[in-house]
Every structure is written in structure tokens, then in C-alpha cells.
Structure 1
Amino acid sequence: MPSRGRHQSTSKECRASIKKIEAMDGVIGVIIGRSYGGKSLGPGSSTGTIKVQRQISGGIKAVTQSAKGLQELYIRTESGKEIEIADAITRWA
């Protein structure tokens, strides 16, 4: 399924991370949400780093560190795959 949202507003490192998530088994798609300029995931986080915030019905809420701040992500998953996908993202992110 093609990505939703405007990838033009996201840095190339974030787009690479999003593509990696979209290729995971059980992921239906990634929707890019709001961006918050000047914000950071904290010390040691580089551009493209993804942090899972919480699992919700039908997907996962996450944020990624872009070159200009934080970018919200909604990762739409197949039913029952949320925990498995969130764990996989946490391990490599």
C-alpha cells in the first residue's frame, strides 16, 4: 500500500526509516502526521530515529526525529500484530 501524507516535509533519513517500517510483515501503511519544529527525542537521537509512543486499536503511534524537529507517525497494522511490530521497531530504532 502506498504511503499517506506528505513525505516532502520529512528528511531523507526519516523516509528511509518509514520505508523500512512499511516493508515489515503485518504493516498496512504509515501515515505521517504533524511536525513539531525545534523539538527533540533527546540526547543521542539522530535524524531518522523512531520512538514508539503507544499501541492503539489497529496500529501504533510513534514519532521520528527529523532534521527540523519531531514528526508524528501512525503505523497501521493488521489486527493482533501491534505488539510484534512495536517490539521490532524498538529493537532496531
Structure 2
Amino acid sequence: MPSRGRHQSTSKECQRTIKKIESLDGVIGVIIGLSYGGKSLGQKGRTGAVKIQRREPGGLKGVTQSAKGLQELFIRIEAGKEEAVAQAIEGLQ
């Protein structure tokens, strides 16, 4: 049984952002990870905002600001399109 408070669901604003990311050219899919209540992306972190943390083999690791905290994301990307997708995600903000 998963730990209490950690789940793989997210707010409506984050779901809209995830759908936008999934529609980008080169994105295979978005995997929703753990959520952390009470955390924030900072002053400019409105609900649905995404921050790319690092590049990983096969995609990008990031977080999105949900209504109750942060939600981990892993964005699967086609080989060779990582930089273009990262720039497109930053443009969504």
C-alpha cells in the first residue's frame, strides 16, 4: 500500500498542462510521479506551472505546481528532440 498523501493524481490545471505537453512534437508521454504537499516552485509558481529539473536518458525530469504542492513528472521524449521539447515546455509558461 502506498504511503499516505503520496499518489499519482493531480489537479485540473496540471492535467491541462500535461495534455499540452503530450501534444508537443517529439513527446511520447508524460508519467505522473509522487506528489509532495506544502511545497512550492516559488513566487512565480502558479498552479499548472512546470519546471524542468534535469535531462535523463529517455526524457526530462520535472515538477509541476499543483493546488496542494508539487507533482513529479517524467516526460518521455523521442531521441534527438530533447532540447526542442525542453524549450517548448518553457514557452508554455
Query: TM-score of the superposition, structure 1-length normalised?
Result: 0.89
State the alpha-carbon separation in 1 of the partners of residues 44 and 62 from structure 2.
18
2:32 paired with 1:17: no
Runs of 4+ in structure 1 displaced over 2 angstroms?
A: none
RMSD: 1.2
For residues 29-84 of structure 1, give each alpha carbon's deviation from its aligned partner in whole angstroms, at most 9, with x where no partner exists.
00000101000000121100001111111100010000010000000000111111
Q: What is the total number of aligned residue pairs between the two structures?
A: 87
- Structure 2 gap ranges (5+): 1-6
State the alpha-carbon separation in 2 of the partners of residues 55 and 40 from structure 1.
21
Pick the structure with greater CA Rg: 2
Corresponding position of 1:65: 65
- Structure 1 gap ranges (5+): none
Corresponding position of 1:43: 43
Identity percentage over the alignment?
64
More helix by share: 1
Query: TM-score of the superposition, structure 2-length normalised?
Result: 0.89
State the alpha-carbon separation in 2 of the partners of residues 87 and 55 from structure 1.
12
